[in-house]
Amino acid sequence: MTEAMPLICNYGFDKLGLHRIEGFVESDNTNCKNAMAKLDFQHEGTMKDCEIKNGKFISLDIYSKIKIE
């Protein structure tokens, strides 16, 4: 993820003209949350009990990266 995401973000910002890229991560997924932080995504908040997975409610953390002009 840490190798592919910078390429994907650059493509999205430079070629597709995106202004914002978002990522939704399961709150219990510490490895993915750490990777998002290393990629300079900002934590914006947590959607509590917003999805059902394996019959249980899970929460999602929202991360975003804004294009730097």
Give pLDDT tens digits for 8-38. Answer: 999 999 999 999 999 999 999 999 999 999 9
Q: What is d(CA 56, CA 23) in angstroms, rounded to the nearest whole number?
A: 21
Residue of higher predicted confidence among 1 and 7: 7
pLDDT score at 49? 98
DSSP class of 16: S
Full strand arrangement of the beta sheet holding 20-26: 20-26, 56-66, 42-53
Domain 4-66 has CATH 3.40.30.10: no
Global confidence as pTM: 0.87
Mean pLDDT of all residues in 41-61: 97
